[in-house]
């Protein structure tokens, strides 16, 4: 009897310690259990399982109970750790290889709720207007509160062509119910094309636009092919768009960063132990030949996207524009358990080259540009200018350009309410023209190209500076030697 009382007191003490730790998680150290205490707790867990199975009012599903216990254990660590049964593990591998079924939506757990990190480009979720930061309240009229990530993903998956209803609450706390048709999600993670300013001159520089929607197994190869193609088009600079990119493979993020860097650190990952540090550096060979780059980010840019933005920002290789990123600075790894199942667990935090941790902070853009709608308030070619004055001096070197008549129908179209526009039916050029952040990014790259010296110019200056330093050292040595001789 005394032994049972002592065990009960011990367990109660452990429970109180754990509860206190949860309330002041940031300041209280973790109270570790001894091997004997862990064994006792595991015995208790087995007792809870047997008691629940034998006394529950309906027939219990033992497998579901045990999977839920393992999921609960891992979910207590952080929002990104979970247990993957055989189906979940297979689905995860299918997804990272570039093709999977479902809605095309990346989600995370947020205090018991399911929140959207971002929809994937050209998927049912993106076409339905689901945004980063939205909360999923119901799936087919079933409440999702305290549902695990894997459970939510399973309910949204299904046979292509079948439908699912999602009740969404946006960041303004407005709710709406959407009916989406499931599809095979084929992820081509990199898209690229040549872009120009919507209201730019025909002779304005061509800019290479590269959109990365997520970081998968084929992303680095797709990016390499895209840059080679754009370089043949003789673009003057690049806009790298990782907005609403939820992340993916760490190796893919390192490879993408390396494509734009000649040297320097890309990212460091730091594990549990102080000595568990892994640093990754760029190899020589900037595929863009030093041309100016603007990286576009927003609050849907997470994980691997933040690695790339932070690496290019800290190395002074690119200007980051947009809004504060998501702030997921942790690395997950799949640990197979040998029977077709695995655990998805956080193993490290990652840091930018300057030593910044992105966890819960995100990347702060160099230039904040919030997505906006812009209405043109003046004509591009005004009738009022120096040229409009009588007897004004002519510019004999000016190129002759055809005057275009103002199209009133076009003006009326520009003034219409954009809420009535079906963006799915717009051309890429029309979408680009309405993307304020992209237009600002393009104009910034153009400005950078006008101010930037060529790579050879920079090398020449560096060489001259080094030569001058060597000459100064030689003069100082001669002066020191002369002073020594006089003494």
Catalytic residue numbers read 303, 314, 328
CB 60 within 8 A of CB 48: no
Among candidates 40, 50, 33, which has minimal Cα distance to 8? 40
Residue 341: phi and psi, rounded to 5, are -105, 170
179 has which bridge partners? 165
What is the rounded CA–CA span in Å between residue 245 and residue 106?
A: 9
- Are 338 and 348 in contact by the 8 Å Cβ rule? The answer is no
**Cβ contact 240:318 at 8 Å:** yes
Could you write out the DSSP letters of every residue in 450-473?
A: HHPPPHHHHHHHHHHHHHHHHHHH
Beta strand segments in 153-299, E: 163-169, 175-181, 183-186, 190-195, 207-212, 237-241, 265-270, 277-281, 293-297
Nearest 10 degrees: Cα torsion 466, 448, 213, 198: -160
Given a contact cutoff of 8 angstroms between Cβ atoms, the answer to whether 13 and 5 are in contact is no
- Helix %, strand %, coil % of the chain (to 5): 40, 20, 40
φ, ψ of residue 231 to 5 degrees: the values are: -65, -35
> What whole-number distance in Å separates Cα of residue 70 and Cα of residue 39?
16
Number of CB atoms found within 10 A of residue 410's CB:
9
The phi and psi torsions of 151 (rounded to 5 degrees) equal -65, -40
Structure tokens at 105: 């939506």
Cα–Cα dist 321/313, whole Å: 10
Question: Taking phi first (over 0 means left), then psi (-120 to 50 degrees means alpha), and beta for anything else, what does residue 146 get?
Answer: left
Rounded to whole angstroms, the Cα distance separating 468 from 460 reads: 12
H or E stretch at 64: helix 62-75
Residue positions counted in the chain:
487
Indicate the DSSP class of residue 162: -
Q: Under a CB-based contact definition with an 8 Å cutoff, are residues 374 and 111 in contact? A: no
């Amino acid at each position: 009897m005394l032994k049972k009382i002592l065990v009960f007191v011990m367990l109660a003490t452990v429970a109180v310690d754990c509860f206190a730790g949860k309330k002041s998680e940031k300041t209280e150290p973790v109270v570790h259990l001894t091997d004997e205490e862990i064994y006792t707790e595991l015995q208790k867990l087995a007792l809870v399982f047997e008691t629940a199975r034998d006394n529950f009012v309906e027939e219990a599903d033992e497998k579901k109970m045990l999977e839920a216990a393992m999921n609960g254990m891992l979910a207590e660590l952080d929002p990104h750790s979970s247990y993957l049964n055989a189906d979940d593990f297979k689905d995860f591998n299918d997804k990272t290889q570039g093709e999977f079924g479902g809605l095309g939506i990346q989600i995370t757990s947020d205090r018991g709720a399911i929140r959207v990190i971002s929809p994937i480009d050209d998927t049912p979720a993106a076409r339905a207007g689901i945004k980063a930061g939205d909360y999923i309240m119901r799936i087919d009229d079933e409440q999702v509160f305290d549902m695990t990530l894997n459970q939510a993903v399973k309910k949204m998956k299904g046979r292509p062509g079948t439908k699912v209803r999602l009740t969404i609450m946006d960041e303004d706390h407005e709710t709406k119910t959407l009916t989406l048709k499931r599809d095979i999600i084929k992820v081509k993670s990199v898209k690229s094309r040549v872009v120009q300013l919507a209201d730019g001159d025909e002779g304005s520089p061509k800019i290479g636009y590269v959109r990365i929607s997520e970081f998968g197994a084929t992303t680095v190869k797709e990016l390499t092919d895209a840059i080679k193609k754009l370089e043949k088009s003789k673009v003057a600079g690049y806009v790298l768009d990782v907005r609403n990119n939820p992340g993916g493979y760490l190796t893919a993020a390192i490879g993408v960063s390396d494509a734009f860097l000649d040297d320097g650190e890309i990212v460091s990952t730091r594990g549990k132990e102080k000595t568990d540090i892994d640093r990754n550096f760029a190899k020589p060979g900037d595929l863009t030949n030093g041309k100016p780059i603007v990286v576009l980010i927003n609050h849907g840019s997470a994980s691997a996207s933040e690695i790339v933005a932070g690496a290019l920002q800290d190395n002074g290789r690119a200007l980051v524009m947009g809004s504060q990123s998501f702030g997921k600075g942790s690395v997950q790894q799949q640990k197979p358990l040998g029977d077709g199942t695995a655990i998805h667990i956080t193993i490290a935090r990652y840091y930018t080259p300057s030593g910044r941790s992105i966890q819960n902070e995100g990347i702060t853009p160099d230039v904040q540009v919030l997505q906006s709608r812009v209405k043109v308030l003046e004509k591009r070619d005004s009738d009022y200018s120096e040229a409009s004055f009588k007897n004004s001096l002519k510019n004999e070197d000016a190129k002759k350009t055809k005057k275009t008549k103002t199209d009133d129908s076009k003006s009326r179209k520009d003034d219409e309410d954009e809420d009535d526009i079906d963006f799915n039916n717009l051309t890429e050029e029309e979408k680009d023209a309405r993307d304020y952040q992209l237009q600002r990014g393009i104009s910034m790259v153009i400005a950078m190209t006008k101010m930037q010296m060529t790579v050879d110019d920079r090398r020449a200056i560096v060489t001259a500076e080094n030569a001058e330093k060597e000459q100064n050292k030689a003069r100082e040595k001669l002066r020191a030697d002369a002073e020594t001789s006089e003494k």
